[in-house]
Every structure is written in C-alpha cells, then in structure tokens.
Amino acid sequence: MADPWTDLADTFVSTVKDRAKGFLANNAKAKAFLVDRGKRLGKLAWQLKTASDGGAREKAERGMKKVQQSIENELATLSLNGSDESKSVFRDILNTAVAVFVKMAPALLARIG
C-alpha cells in the first residue's frame, strides 16, 4: 500500500513535469531532483495535515520552507543540459510550483481534514 502522502507528492511532481516535459526528458538529474523534492514536500504536507498540535504544524511548515530554500540553493549548482534560457525556465517553473505548494498546502489540507 502506498504511503498516504504519495498523492500529494505525485500531484506536485506531475504539475512540474507537465510544464517542463522537454527539458526533463533531456535531464535525468533534474527529473530525479524534482521527484526527490516532491516526495519531501509531500511527506511534510502530510505531517502538516496529521499534526496533532500547533507545535507539530509549525515544525512541518518550517520543514517545507527549508525544502523550498534547499531547492533554490541546489538548483544553482545542479549541472543541467540545455540552453541557459531553458535552464532558467525550468528553475522558474520549479520555484513557482514550490512556492505555491508551500503557501497553499496548509490551507488546503486544513479544509480537507
């Protein structure tokens, strides 16, 4: 049976994949990076949803912000194939998706749960 957070991670990853299809097809490192960070965000979002108190929620939210910052930092050093423009577009897509996910997940999950 899949982990309960898998759907959250898959939704995040598929959103970025849909926008950056061609780029990811030529960049296995970028695809692996995206999947790994998507899993991390999915797990943290699930922890946020299932948090039993304010301290646990704050810890999950801090974790999500740390993942967001690590993505921004690591993208700068990740060796990617493609033109500078395509790399920049991929970074913008991923950073935007992460920012939206981090900001919206707490509110959305609170309503679900």
Domains of the chain, by residue range, sit at 28-112
Are the C-beta atoms of 29 and 79 separated by less than 8 Å?
yes
pLDDT in tens, 17-61: 888 888 888 888 888 988 998 899 889 888 888 888 889 888 988
φ/ψ bin of 82: left (φ > 0), alpha (ψ from -120 to 50), beta (otherwise): left
Dig out the tokens for 86 from the structure. Answer: 């395509």
What is 41-60 written as a DSSP string? HHHHHHHHHH--SHHHHHHH
What are the structure tokens assigned to 64, written together? 């999500």
Region 91-103: mean pLDDT is: 85
The string of pLDDT tens digits covering residues 8-21 is 888 888 888 888 88
Predicted TM-score (pTM) of this structure: 0.79
Stronger pLDDT, 109 or 95, i.e. the higher one = 95
Choose among 86, 58, 62, 90: nearest CA to 74.
90
Predicted pLDDT at 95: 85
